[in-house]
Amino acid sequence: MASDSESFDLSILGLSPVEGKRLELEAELGEFEFAGEPYRPEPQPCPVVVDVTRMNNGGWSLKLAFETTMRGTCMRCLGPAERTIAVEVREVDQVDGGEELDSPYINGTEVALNQWAHDSLALALPTQVICRPQCLGLCPRCGIDLNADPGHEHEADKDPRWSKLDELKFD
């Protein structure tokens, strides 16, 4: 994707050491896929806030914050899901800072904003994108949507003889 290489240059900010600036930019967040289902963050491009601080050793400290709405398939019931996710991440890049302080998204004064935003969102995503916190999902036996029939049960589940048997086994 061509947009992945999109970057902005910190040198044009003309910051002196210890000076900082807040930038309002836009980032392409790209697309995501879980279990073969596409998930798309909206809007795109997404407004983002980048707080840039130039450190007194010549390095940079950056904070990226944005909010996006993820649309896709509920991982429990396979219905449509929509979830708002707030992302706030920090990167530090120091000259001779070693691996820990060498941000993969800051190369000299170039910031790979789209890649940074995409990766940060991937990490911030809940492991399950679901339609609502209390989504009941699908019946593991017959696959019907339990949200449409919350009382749904199979005979064996509530047959008192089975629970009696279970009690006996444990005694």
Residues that bind Zn ion (CB under 5 A): 74, 76-77, 131, 135, 139, 141-142
> To the nearest whole angstrom, how small is the minimum distance from the Cβ of residue 157 to Zn ion?
9
- Residue closer to Zn ion by CB (options 74, 112) is 74
> To the nearest whole angstrom, how small is the minimum distance from the Cβ of residue 63 to Zn ion?
33
- Residue closer to Zn ion by CB (options 97, 137) is 137
Question: Is the separation of the CB atoms in 74 and 135 below 8 Å?
Answer: yes
- Residue closer to Zn ion by CB (options 96, 155) is 155
> To the nearest whole angstrom, how small is the minimum distance from the Cβ of residue 150 to Zn ion?
12
> To the nearest whole angstrom, how small is the minimum distance from the Cβ of residue 123 to Zn ion?
23
- Residue closer to Zn ion by CB (options 77, 112) is 77
- Residue closer to Zn ion by CB (options 125, 139) is 139
| Interatomic CA distance for residues 31 and 54, integer angstroms | 32
Instruction: Spell out the residues 6+ positions from residue 19 whose beta carbon is closer than 8 angstroms to its own.
Output: 53, 54
> To the nearest whole angstrom, how small is the minimum distance from the Cβ of residue 83 to Zn ion?
11
